[in-house]
């Protein structure tokens, strides 16, 4: 794992491959390890990958204060990391909270993002609209209120033992990935920092996120307990670029960990449509 300074912080990053640059963003409460079954398939196809442990998850990128975890700061991190990596323009992939950040990056910085592949979380305006109008999605999103409650969320997720409750990683098939995710989020201050992403949410800003103009693929799984069909099907309303919707039947929320072949195939279909210069100095 390489440490990359960016945006005044120091990020632990996994990188590999050679070729066109692809940045992959993990979700909550995961880590860069979530993409370890996906990236080898991208490397074999001729792509270079950068996978950071994002703000709060890297010890050197764990500032204090909820305001430090606003989506604007997370967006700045992605752009700065890609620049430091030598990729002024790049393909962007995100899952869960990583997808939320990726939507924000692509919507506001289409000059930097060649293509977008988002997993689980739809365009943030579609998600906000679903919460406002759909009883099913409101029920699915009730956990957000817990995560936004300082102290209580940490107690529920870690308890007195300091070990992750099974609800954090239930459904991930690879024990090694679970162990690495748990190692990252149980570092001192890491879980509170990761939960600060929720505590910094500005819901009106979600509603007002502009449409994404870059070529985009969105993957949704029909057994995802947190994200319902309403937001998934409305996602297309907020993408004006070329758009592909991929529904994975029988899959749960943990798509990078559990469905790497389907995820990699979708990423490759998307990125091959917009060639970029190869990253200089790849493996």
Kindly name the residue from 12, 77, 96, 224 that is annotated as catalytic: 96
| Residues forming beta bridges with residue 93, ordered by sequence position | 24, 117
Cα-Cα-Cα-Cα dihedral of 156, 196, 28, 140, to 10°? 70
Q: Other C-beta atoms within 10 Å of 71: how many?
A: 22
Q: How far is CA 163 from CA 56, 106, 182, in A?
A: 18, 35, 8
Kindly name the residue from 43, 95, 181, 253 that is annotated as catalytic: 253
108 carries an active-site annotation: no
Cα-Cα-Cα-Cα dihedral of 66, 122, 52, 145, to 10°? 30
The C-alpha atoms of residue 241 and residue 222 are separated, in whole angstroms, by 24
| Residues forming beta bridges with residue 25, ordered by sequence position | 94
Q: Which tokens sit at 260?
A: 């790497």
96 carries an active-site annotation: yes
Cβ-contact 184, 57 below 8 angstroms:
yes
The C-alpha atoms of residue 187 and residue 86 are separated, in whole angstroms, by 30
Q: Other C-beta atoms within 10 Å of 140: how many?
A: 19
CA-based torsion, 120, 121, 126, 132: positive or negative: positive
Cβ-contact 110, 85 below 8 angstroms:
no
Q: What Rg, from alpha-carbon coordinates, does the chain have?
A: 17
Task: Choose among 46, 2, 16, 27: nearest CA to 102.
Answer: 27
Please identify every residue annotated as catalytic: 96, 253
């Amino acid at each position: 794992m390489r440490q990359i300074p960016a945006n005044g912080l120091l990020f632990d990053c996994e990188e590999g491959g050679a070729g066109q640059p692809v940045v992959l963003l993990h979700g909550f409460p995961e880590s860069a390890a979530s993409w370890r079954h996906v990236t080898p398939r991208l490397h074999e196809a001729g792509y270079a990958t950068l996978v950071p442990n994002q703000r709060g998850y890297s010890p050197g990128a764990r500032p204090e204060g909820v305001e430090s975890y606003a989506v604007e700061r997370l967006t700045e991190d992605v752009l700065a990391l890609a620049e430091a990596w030598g990729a002024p323009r790049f393909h962007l992939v995100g899952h869960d909270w990583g997808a939320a950040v990726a939507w924000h990056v692509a919507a506001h910085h289409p000059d930097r993002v060649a293509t977008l592949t988002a997993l689980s979380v739809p365009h943030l305006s579609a998600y906000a609209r679903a919460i406002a109008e759909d009883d099913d999605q409101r029920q699915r999103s009730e956990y957000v209120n817990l995560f936004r409650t300082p102290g209580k969320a940490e107690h529920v997720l870690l308890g007195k033992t300091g070990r992750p409750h099974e609800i954090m990683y239930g459904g991930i098939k690879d024990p090694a990935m679970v162990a690495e995710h748990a190692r990252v989020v149980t570092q001192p201050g890491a879980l509170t920092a990761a939960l600060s992403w929720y505590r910094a949410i500005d819901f009106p800003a979600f509603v007002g996120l502009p449409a994404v103009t870059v070529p985009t693929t969105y993957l949704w799984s029909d057994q995802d307990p947190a994200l319902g069909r309403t937001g998934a099907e409305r996602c297309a309303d907020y993408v004006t670029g070329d758009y592909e919707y991929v529904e994975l039947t029988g899959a749960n929320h943990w798509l990078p960990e559990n469905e790497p072949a389907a995820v990699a195939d979708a990423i490759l279909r998307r990125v091959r449509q917009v060639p970029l210069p190869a990253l200089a100095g790849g493996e």
